[in-house]
Homo-oligomer: A and B are copies of this chain.
Amino acid sequence: MEKKMQICLGFKFAGIHCGLKKAEDALDLALILSQTPATAAATFTTNRFPAAPVIYGRRQLAAGESLRAVLINSGNANACTGSQGEIDVLSVAEFLGAALNIKAAEVFISSTGVIGEPLPVTKILKGIEKLVDGVKIPGDPVITFERAVRAIMTTDRFPKMVACQLETSQGRVTINGFAKGAGMIHPNMATMLAYLLTDAKIEKNTWQALLSRVVEHSFNRISVDGDMSTNDTVLALANGASGSFLTTAADLELLENALLQMTQELAYMMVKDGEGATKVVKVMVTGAPSPTAAEKICRAVANSSLVKTAFFGQDANWGRIIAAVGYAGVDLRPELVNIDFDQVRVVSGGVRDRDYREEMGAAVLRLPEFSVKIDLQSGEDEFLLLTSDLTHDYISINADYRS
Protein backbone atom coordinates (compact mmCIF):
# COMPACT_ATOMS: atom_id res chain seq x y z
CA MET A 1 0.00 0.00 0.00
CA GLU A 2 1.43 3.41 -0.89
CA LYS A 3 1.01 6.58 1.13
CA LYS A 4 -0.40 8.66 -1.70
CA MET A 5 -3.69 7.18 -2.84
CA GLN A 6 -3.41 6.06 -6.46
CA ILE A 7 -6.62 5.96 -8.47
CA CYS A 8 -7.33 3.40 -11.23
CA LEU A 9 -7.07 4.57 -14.82
CA GLY A 10 -10.30 4.97 -16.75
CA PHE A 11 -12.64 5.48 -13.78
CA LYS A 12 -14.32 8.75 -12.80
CA PHE A 13 -16.09 9.47 -9.53
CA ALA A 14 -18.57 11.92 -8.09
CA GLY A 15 -20.40 12.38 -4.80
CA ILE A 16 -23.15 14.92 -4.14
CA HIS A 17 -26.02 15.80 -1.80
CA CYS A 18 -29.41 15.16 -3.42
CA GLY A 19 -31.61 15.43 -0.33
CA LEU A 20 -31.96 11.84 0.91
CA LYS A 21 -30.02 12.65 4.07
CA LYS A 22 -31.46 15.51 6.10
CA ALA A 23 -28.24 17.44 6.78
CA GLU A 24 -27.71 19.84 3.89
CA ASP A 25 -24.00 19.13 3.50
CA ALA A 26 -24.34 15.36 3.81
CA LEU A 27 -23.33 13.59 0.58
CA ASP A 28 -25.85 10.89 -0.31
CA LEU A 29 -25.45 10.00 -4.00
CA ALA A 30 -22.31 8.52 -5.56
CA LEU A 31 -21.37 7.71 -9.15
CA ILE A 32 -18.61 5.47 -10.47
CA LEU A 33 -18.13 5.83 -14.23
CA SER A 34 -15.86 3.61 -16.32
CA GLN A 35 -14.66 5.01 -19.65
CA THR A 36 -14.71 1.51 -21.11
CA PRO A 37 -17.05 -1.44 -20.48
CA ALA A 38 -15.80 -3.13 -17.28
CA THR A 39 -15.92 -6.84 -16.55
CA ALA A 40 -18.15 -7.24 -13.48
CA ALA A 41 -18.26 -9.76 -10.65
CA ALA A 42 -20.41 -9.55 -7.54
CA THR A 43 -21.64 -11.24 -4.39
CA PHE A 44 -24.98 -10.43 -2.73
CA THR A 45 -26.87 -10.91 0.52
CA THR A 46 -28.48 -14.31 1.11
CA ASN A 47 -31.40 -12.66 2.93
CA ARG A 48 -34.79 -13.97 1.68
CA PHE A 49 -36.02 -10.39 1.38
CA PRO A 50 -33.42 -9.05 -1.05
CA ALA A 51 -33.81 -5.34 -1.73
CA ALA A 52 -34.97 -4.19 -5.18
CA PRO A 53 -31.46 -3.15 -6.36
CA VAL A 54 -30.12 -6.56 -5.28
CA ILE A 55 -32.80 -8.33 -7.32
CA TYR A 56 -31.93 -6.11 -10.30
CA GLY A 57 -28.16 -6.53 -9.82
CA ARG A 58 -28.40 -10.31 -9.63
CA ARG A 59 -30.23 -10.39 -12.96
CA GLN A 60 -27.64 -8.06 -14.50
CA LEU A 61 -24.72 -10.18 -13.39
CA ALA A 62 -26.46 -13.37 -14.52
CA ALA A 63 -26.96 -11.81 -17.98
CA GLY A 64 -23.20 -11.31 -18.07
CA GLU A 65 -23.27 -7.76 -19.44
CA SER A 66 -20.25 -5.50 -18.88
CA LEU A 67 -20.87 -2.42 -16.73
CA ARG A 68 -20.18 1.23 -17.39
CA ALA A 69 -21.65 2.98 -14.36
CA VAL A 70 -22.55 2.40 -10.71
CA LEU A 71 -25.01 4.64 -8.87
CA ILE A 72 -25.17 4.32 -5.09
CA ASN A 73 -27.54 6.19 -2.77
CA SER A 74 -27.50 6.29 1.01
CA GLY A 75 -30.53 7.24 3.15
CA ASN A 76 -32.99 4.74 1.63
CA ALA A 77 -32.53 0.98 1.17
CA ASN A 78 -35.31 0.45 -1.39
CA ALA A 79 -35.96 -2.85 0.45
CA CYS A 80 -39.41 -4.41 1.09
CA THR A 81 -40.84 -1.98 -1.45
CA GLY A 82 -42.40 -4.63 -3.68
CA SER A 83 -42.91 -4.18 -7.42
CA GLN A 84 -42.78 -0.38 -7.07
CA GLY A 85 -39.23 -0.71 -5.74
CA GLU A 86 -38.20 -2.71 -8.80
CA ILE A 87 -39.83 -0.20 -11.13
CA ASP A 88 -37.93 2.57 -9.34
CA VAL A 89 -34.59 0.83 -9.88
CA LEU A 90 -35.35 0.48 -13.60
CA SER A 91 -36.38 4.14 -13.88
CA VAL A 92 -33.19 5.30 -12.23
CA ALA A 93 -31.02 3.03 -14.39
CA GLU A 94 -32.75 4.18 -17.58
CA PHE A 95 -32.47 7.84 -16.64
CA LEU A 96 -28.77 7.55 -15.83
CA GLY A 97 -28.13 5.46 -18.95
CA ALA A 98 -29.77 8.12 -21.14
CA ALA A 99 -27.85 10.93 -19.42
CA LEU A 100 -24.54 9.11 -19.97
CA ASN A 101 -25.49 7.80 -23.42
CA ILE A 102 -25.01 4.17 -22.39
CA LYS A 103 -27.44 1.25 -22.10
CA ALA A 104 -29.57 1.04 -18.94
CA ALA A 105 -28.33 -2.55 -18.62
CA GLU A 106 -24.80 -1.17 -18.14
CA VAL A 107 -25.85 0.76 -15.02
CA PHE A 108 -25.52 -0.98 -11.65
CA ILE A 109 -27.57 0.36 -8.71
CA SER A 110 -27.01 0.08 -4.94
CA SER A 111 -29.07 1.54 -2.11
CA THR A 112 -28.58 1.74 1.65
CA GLY A 113 -30.80 3.25 4.33
CA VAL A 114 -34.16 2.65 5.95
CA ILE A 115 -36.12 -0.45 4.91
CA GLY A 116 -39.70 -0.17 3.65
CA GLU A 117 -39.84 3.46 2.59
CA PRO A 118 -40.46 4.13 -1.12
CA LEU A 119 -37.35 5.34 -2.97
CA PRO A 120 -37.51 9.15 -3.47
CA VAL A 121 -37.02 8.83 -7.22
CA THR A 122 -37.48 12.52 -8.08
CA LYS A 123 -34.68 13.59 -5.74
CA ILE A 124 -32.40 10.95 -7.23
CA LEU A 125 -33.17 11.91 -10.84
CA LYS A 126 -32.39 15.56 -10.05
CA GLY A 127 -29.20 14.37 -8.35
CA ILE A 128 -28.23 12.37 -11.43
CA GLU A 129 -28.31 15.55 -13.55
CA LYS A 130 -25.87 17.19 -11.12
CA LEU A 131 -23.66 14.09 -11.00
CA VAL A 132 -23.43 13.80 -14.76
CA ASP A 133 -22.55 17.47 -15.08
CA GLY A 134 -19.96 16.89 -12.35
CA VAL A 135 -18.09 14.05 -14.05
CA LYS A 136 -17.79 16.09 -17.25
CA ILE A 137 -15.55 18.60 -15.44
CA PRO A 138 -12.00 17.31 -14.98
CA GLY A 139 -11.24 17.11 -11.23
CA ASP A 140 -8.60 15.74 -8.91
CA PRO A 141 -9.33 12.00 -9.01
CA VAL A 142 -8.39 11.56 -5.33
CA ILE A 143 -10.83 14.26 -4.23
CA THR A 144 -13.70 13.01 -6.38
CA PHE A 145 -13.01 9.42 -5.24
CA GLU A 146 -13.22 10.49 -1.60
CA ARG A 147 -16.47 12.33 -2.25
CA ALA A 148 -17.99 9.16 -3.71
CA VAL A 149 -16.78 7.18 -0.68
CA ARG A 150 -18.36 9.70 1.70
CA ALA A 151 -21.65 9.71 -0.22
CA ILE A 152 -22.29 6.03 0.60
CA MET A 153 -21.72 6.43 4.37
CA THR A 154 -24.62 6.13 6.80
CA THR A 155 -23.77 5.78 10.50
CA ASP A 156 -20.11 5.21 9.56
CA ARG A 157 -17.79 7.36 11.62
CA PHE A 158 -15.04 7.38 8.99
CA PRO A 159 -14.75 6.67 5.24
CA LYS A 160 -13.34 3.27 4.34
CA MET A 161 -11.06 3.11 1.32
CA VAL A 162 -7.93 1.32 0.21
CA ALA A 163 -5.58 1.50 -2.77
CA CYS A 164 -2.82 -0.66 -4.12
CA GLN A 165 -0.52 -0.81 -7.15
CA LEU A 166 0.91 -4.03 -8.51
CA GLU A 167 3.82 -4.57 -10.89
CA THR A 168 2.61 -7.45 -13.03
CA SER A 169 4.23 -9.18 -15.98
CA GLN A 170 1.90 -7.05 -18.12
CA GLY A 171 2.77 -3.77 -16.48
CA ARG A 172 1.53 -1.70 -13.57
CA VAL A 173 -2.10 -2.03 -12.49
CA THR A 174 -3.96 -0.11 -9.81
CA ILE A 175 -6.71 -1.36 -7.50
CA ASN A 176 -9.10 0.76 -5.45
CA GLY A 177 -11.60 -0.39 -2.90
CA PHE A 178 -14.16 1.35 -0.75
CA ALA A 179 -16.94 0.27 1.51
CA LYS A 180 -19.49 1.28 4.07
CA GLY A 181 -20.71 -0.33 7.29
CA ALA A 182 -21.55 -3.98 7.48
CA GLY A 183 -24.87 -5.77 7.35
CA MET A 184 -24.16 -6.98 10.79
CA ILE A 185 -22.90 -3.66 12.11
CA HIS A 186 -25.28 -1.15 10.52
CA PRO A 187 -28.15 -3.42 9.74
CA ASN A 188 -30.96 -0.93 9.98
CA MET A 189 -29.07 1.32 7.68
CA ALA A 190 -29.39 -2.05 6.11
CA THR A 191 -26.26 -2.53 4.17
CA MET A 192 -22.72 -3.58 3.86
CA LEU A 193 -21.64 -2.23 0.47
CA ALA A 194 -18.18 -2.63 -1.03
CA TYR A 195 -16.74 -1.75 -4.43
CA LEU A 196 -13.48 -3.04 -5.83
CA LEU A 197 -12.12 -1.42 -8.96
CA THR A 198 -9.08 -2.16 -11.10
CA ASP A 199 -7.74 -0.95 -14.40
CA ALA A 200 -6.42 -4.42 -15.16
CA LYS A 201 -8.21 -6.58 -17.69
CA ILE A 202 -9.34 -9.98 -16.42
CA GLU A 203 -11.40 -12.76 -17.96
CA LYS A 204 -14.94 -12.68 -16.57
CA ASN A 205 -15.18 -16.14 -14.97
CA THR A 206 -11.72 -15.79 -13.45
CA TRP A 207 -12.75 -12.44 -11.98
CA GLN A 208 -15.93 -13.83 -10.40
CA ALA A 209 -14.18 -16.88 -8.95
CA LEU A 210 -11.43 -14.71 -7.54
CA LEU A 211 -13.93 -12.31 -5.98
CA SER A 212 -15.96 -15.10 -4.40
CA ARG A 213 -12.84 -16.60 -2.79
CA VAL A 214 -11.66 -13.24 -1.50
CA VAL A 215 -15.07 -12.28 -0.03
CA GLU A 216 -15.29 -15.61 1.77
CA HIS A 217 -12.11 -14.79 3.70
CA SER A 218 -12.73 -11.11 4.33
CA PHE A 219 -16.28 -9.72 4.46
CA ASN A 220 -17.72 -13.13 5.36
CA ARG A 221 -15.37 -13.29 8.35
CA ILE A 222 -16.79 -10.36 10.29
CA SER A 223 -19.79 -10.26 12.56
CA VAL A 224 -21.14 -7.69 14.91
CA ASP A 225 -24.68 -8.45 16.00
CA GLY A 226 -25.53 -11.36 13.74
CA ASP A 227 -28.13 -9.39 11.81
CA MET A 228 -27.84 -9.82 8.04
CA SER A 229 -29.09 -7.05 5.82
CA THR A 230 -31.37 -7.08 2.82
CA ASN A 231 -28.94 -5.06 0.67
CA ASP A 232 -25.41 -6.46 1.16
CA THR A 233 -23.46 -6.19 -2.07
CA VAL A 234 -19.83 -6.49 -3.10
CA LEU A 235 -19.21 -5.38 -6.69
CA ALA A 236 -15.87 -5.74 -8.48
CA LEU A 237 -15.14 -3.99 -11.77
CA ALA A 238 -12.13 -4.51 -14.05
CA ASN A 239 -12.09 -2.01 -16.92
CA GLY A 240 -8.72 -2.86 -18.54
CA ALA A 241 -7.77 0.82 -18.91
CA SER A 242 -4.17 0.05 -17.91
CA GLY A 243 -3.84 -2.19 -20.94
CA SER A 244 -2.61 -5.02 -18.71
CA PHE A 245 -4.49 -8.25 -19.36
CA LEU A 246 -3.78 -10.56 -16.45
CA THR A 247 -3.87 -14.21 -17.48
CA THR A 248 -0.83 -15.99 -16.03
CA ALA A 249 -1.09 -17.88 -12.76
CA ALA A 250 1.59 -15.65 -11.24
CA ASP A 251 -0.20 -12.41 -12.15
CA LEU A 252 -3.55 -13.71 -10.96
CA GLU A 253 -2.06 -14.84 -7.68
CA LEU A 254 -0.52 -11.40 -7.22
CA LEU A 255 -3.92 -9.84 -7.88
CA GLU A 256 -5.78 -12.21 -5.59
CA ASN A 257 -3.36 -11.67 -2.72
CA ALA A 258 -3.65 -7.91 -3.12
CA LEU A 259 -7.45 -8.06 -3.21
CA LEU A 260 -7.52 -10.34 -0.19
CA GLN A 261 -5.34 -7.95 1.77
CA MET A 262 -7.46 -4.96 0.67
CA THR A 263 -10.81 -6.58 1.45
CA GLN A 264 -9.55 -7.78 4.83
CA GLU A 265 -8.46 -4.22 5.54
CA LEU A 266 -11.93 -2.89 4.59
CA ALA A 267 -13.60 -5.62 6.67
CA TYR A 268 -11.40 -4.72 9.63
CA MET A 269 -12.44 -1.05 9.25
CA MET A 270 -16.10 -2.06 9.33
CA VAL A 271 -15.69 -3.89 12.63
CA LYS A 272 -13.60 -1.07 14.08
CA ASP A 273 -16.38 1.32 13.08
CA GLY A 274 -19.13 -0.98 14.36
CA GLU A 275 -21.98 0.96 15.92
CA GLY A 276 -20.82 1.93 19.41
CA ALA A 277 -17.85 -0.44 19.25
CA THR A 278 -14.84 0.13 21.51
CA LYS A 279 -13.01 -3.16 20.81
CA VAL A 280 -11.97 -5.28 17.84
CA VAL A 281 -11.79 -8.94 18.85
CA LYS A 282 -10.46 -11.80 16.75
CA VAL A 283 -12.31 -15.00 17.68
CA MET A 284 -10.50 -18.12 16.48
CA VAL A 285 -11.61 -21.71 16.77
CA THR A 286 -8.92 -24.33 16.07
CA GLY A 287 -8.62 -28.10 16.37
CA ALA A 288 -12.21 -28.63 15.22
CA PRO A 289 -13.46 -31.93 13.79
CA SER A 290 -14.97 -30.18 10.72
CA PRO A 291 -15.07 -26.72 9.11
CA THR A 292 -18.78 -26.50 9.98
CA ALA A 293 -18.15 -27.27 13.64
CA ALA A 294 -15.43 -24.60 13.78
CA GLU A 295 -17.71 -22.04 12.15
CA LYS A 296 -20.72 -22.82 14.37
CA ILE A 297 -18.71 -22.37 17.56
CA CYS A 298 -16.94 -19.28 16.24
CA ARG A 299 -20.27 -17.64 15.35
CA ALA A 300 -21.93 -18.63 18.66
CA VAL A 301 -19.12 -16.96 20.62
CA ALA A 302 -18.75 -13.91 18.36
CA ASN A 303 -22.53 -13.27 18.34
CA SER A 304 -23.25 -13.85 22.03
CA SER A 305 -24.64 -10.69 23.62
CA LEU A 306 -23.20 -11.78 26.95
CA VAL A 307 -19.70 -12.39 25.60
CA LYS A 308 -19.74 -9.07 23.73
CA THR A 309 -21.01 -7.17 26.76
CA ALA A 310 -18.22 -8.72 28.86
CA PHE A 311 -15.70 -7.45 26.27
CA PHE A 312 -17.18 -3.98 26.68
CA GLY A 313 -16.96 -4.30 30.48
CA GLN A 314 -13.32 -5.49 30.11
CA ASP A 315 -14.39 -8.47 32.20
CA ALA A 316 -12.38 -11.64 31.52
CA ASN A 317 -15.52 -13.68 32.06
CA TRP A 318 -14.48 -16.88 30.30
CA GLY A 319 -17.52 -18.72 31.69
CA ARG A 320 -19.68 -16.89 29.14
CA ILE A 321 -17.38 -18.02 26.33
CA ILE A 322 -17.53 -21.62 27.57
CA ALA A 323 -21.34 -21.40 27.76
CA ALA A 324 -21.51 -20.20 24.13
CA VAL A 325 -19.12 -22.95 22.98
CA GLY A 326 -21.39 -25.41 24.76
CA TYR A 327 -24.64 -24.33 23.12
CA ALA A 328 -23.30 -23.99 19.58
CA GLY A 329 -24.79 -27.35 18.67
CA VAL A 330 -21.46 -29.11 18.17
CA ASP A 331 -20.66 -32.47 19.71
CA LEU A 332 -17.39 -31.89 21.58
CA ARG A 333 -15.35 -33.12 24.52
CA PRO A 334 -15.38 -30.40 27.21
CA GLU A 335 -12.32 -31.89 28.92
CA LEU A 336 -10.14 -31.13 25.87
CA VAL A 337 -11.06 -27.47 25.36
CA ASN A 338 -8.37 -24.79 25.85
CA ILE A 339 -8.96 -21.03 25.69
CA ASP A 340 -6.34 -18.29 25.34
CA PHE A 341 -6.77 -14.51 25.52
CA ASP A 342 -3.87 -13.36 23.32
CA GLN A 343 -0.90 -15.25 24.84
CA VAL A 344 -2.60 -15.91 28.18
CA ARG A 345 -3.83 -19.48 28.75
CA VAL A 346 -7.16 -19.10 30.57
CA VAL A 347 -8.86 -22.49 30.27
CA SER A 348 -7.05 -25.85 30.08
CA GLY A 349 -9.04 -29.01 29.52
CA GLY A 350 -12.39 -27.30 30.10
CA VAL A 351 -11.51 -25.84 33.51
CA ARG A 352 -9.63 -22.74 34.62
CA ASP A 353 -5.91 -23.10 33.97
CA ARG A 354 -4.07 -23.65 37.24
CA ASP A 355 -1.64 -20.79 36.60
CA TYR A 356 -4.32 -18.34 35.44
CA ARG A 357 -5.08 -15.35 37.59
CA GLU A 358 -7.93 -12.93 36.95
CA GLU A 359 -5.61 -9.94 36.47
CA MET A 360 -3.80 -11.69 33.58
CA GLY A 361 -7.02 -11.91 31.58
CA ALA A 362 -8.16 -8.44 32.63
CA ALA A 363 -4.91 -6.95 31.29
CA VAL A 364 -5.62 -8.40 27.83
CA LEU A 365 -9.25 -7.22 27.81
CA ARG A 366 -8.19 -3.66 28.52
CA LEU A 367 -6.46 -3.61 25.11
CA PRO A 368 -8.42 -2.07 22.21
CA GLU A 369 -7.72 -5.19 20.13
CA PHE A 370 -7.09 -8.75 21.23
CA SER A 371 -7.75 -12.34 20.24
CA VAL A 372 -9.75 -15.14 21.83
CA LYS A 373 -8.54 -18.56 20.73
CA ILE A 374 -10.62 -21.66 21.41
CA ASP A 375 -8.80 -24.92 20.72
CA LEU A 376 -11.07 -27.98 20.69
CA GLN A 377 -8.10 -30.37 20.25
CA SER A 378 -10.36 -32.66 18.23
CA GLY A 379 -9.28 -32.21 14.63
CA GLU A 380 -7.54 -30.00 12.11
CA ASP A 381 -10.24 -27.51 11.08
CA GLU A 382 -10.49 -23.88 12.08
CA PHE A 383 -12.51 -20.70 11.62
CA LEU A 384 -11.91 -17.04 12.37
CA LEU A 385 -14.22 -14.05 12.85
CA LEU A 386 -13.57 -10.42 13.63
CA THR A 387 -16.15 -9.03 15.99
CA SER A 388 -16.72 -5.99 18.20
CA ASP A 389 -18.16 -5.43 21.64
CA LEU A 390 -21.77 -4.62 22.57
CA THR A 391 -22.02 -1.23 24.23
CA HIS A 392 -24.33 1.46 25.55
CA ASP A 393 -23.70 3.41 22.35
CA TYR A 394 -24.95 0.48 20.26
CA ILE A 395 -28.22 0.60 22.20
CA SER A 396 -28.47 4.39 21.85
CA ILE A 397 -27.73 4.39 18.13
CA ASN A 398 -30.25 1.65 17.39
CA ALA A 399 -32.98 2.58 19.85
CA ASP A 400 -33.08 6.18 18.73
CA TYR A 401 -32.10 5.77 15.09
CA ARG A 402 -35.32 6.90 13.44
CA SER A 403 -36.55 9.27 16.12
**Interface positions of A (Cβ within 8 A of B):** 46-50, 77, 79-82, 84, 114-116, 187-188, 190, 225-230, 304-306, 309-310, 312-313, 315, 317-320, 322-328, 330-332, 334-335, 347, 349-352, 390-392, 394-396, 398-403
Residue of B nearest to A48 (CB): B326
The 5 A-B pairs with the shortest beta carbon distances in the complex, nearest first, are A115-B319, A313-B399, A49-B326, A82-B351, A47-B326
- Measured in the bound complex, the distance between the Cα atoms of B67 and A308 in whole Å is 40
Q: Which of A114, A230, A328 has the most CB of B within 10 A?
A: A230
B401 touches A395 (CB 8 A): no
- A309→B190 contact, CB < 8 A: no
Chain B residue with the shortest CB-CB distance to A228: B327
**Nearest chain B CB to A124 CB, angstrom units:** 20
Measured between beta carbons, the chain B residues less than 8 angstroms from A391 are: 395
Complex copy number for this chain? 2
| Known contacts A82-B350, A352-B116, A399-B312; A323/B392 CB under 8 A | no
Q: How many Å lie between the Cα of A225 and that of B79 in the bound state?
A: 27
Name which residue of chain B comes closest to A399, CB basis: B313
Query: Which residues of B are found within 8 Å of A225, using beta-carbon distances?
Result: 304-306
Instruction: Assess whether A322 is in contact with B116, with CB atoms less than 8 Å apart.
Output: yes
Once bound together, how far apart are the Cα atoms of A22 and B81, in whole Å?
A: 55
Which of B46, B116, B325, B399 is the one whose CB lies under 8 Å from A49?
A: B325
Contact B82 A323 (CB under 8 A): no
Which residues does chain B contribute within 8 Å of A327, judged by CB atoms?
A: 46-48, 227-228
Interface of chain A, main secondary structure: loop
* Most chain B C-beta atoms within 10 Å of own C-beta, residue among A305, A334, A351: A305
Interchain Cβ contacts under 8 Å between A and B, 12 examples: A48-B326, A49-B334, A50-B326, A80-B351, A84-B351, A115-B320, A115-B323, A116-B319, A225-B305, A226-B304, A229-B323, A317-B401
Closest CB-CB distance, A295 to chain B, in whole Å?
14
Given the known inter-chain contacts A390-B395, A398-B306, please indicate yes or no for A47 contacting B323, CB distance below 8 A: yes
A116-B352, A403-B313 given; A319·B79 CB < 8 A: yes
- In the complex, chain B residues whose CB is within 8 Å of the CB of A330: 48
By a CB distance below 8 angstroms, the chain B residues around A230 are 319, 322-323, 326
Given A48-B331, A309-B399, A347-B80: A227 in contact with B323 (beta carbons within 8 A): yes
Neighbouring B residues of A313 by C-beta, 8 Å: 398-401, 403
**Cβ contacts under 8 Å, A312 to chain B:** 395, 399
| In contact, A322 and B80 (Cβ under 8 angstroms) | yes
Partner of A403, one of B304, B315, B324: B315
Contact among B116, B227, B350 with A80 in the assembled complex (CB-CB below 8 Å): B350
> Which residues of B lie under 8 Å from residue A400 when comparing CB positions?
313, 315
- A305 to B227: give the CA distance in the assembly, Å: 8
Return chain B residues, CB-CB under 8 Å to A82: 335, 349-351
Q: Are A395 and B395 in contact (CB under 8 A)?
A: yes
Residues of B within 8 A of A399 (CB): 309-310, 312-313, 315
Q: CA–CA, A328 to B227, complex, Å?
A: 10
Assembled-state Cα–Cα distance A351/B78 (Å): 11
**Residue of B whose beta carbon sits closest to that of A47:** B326
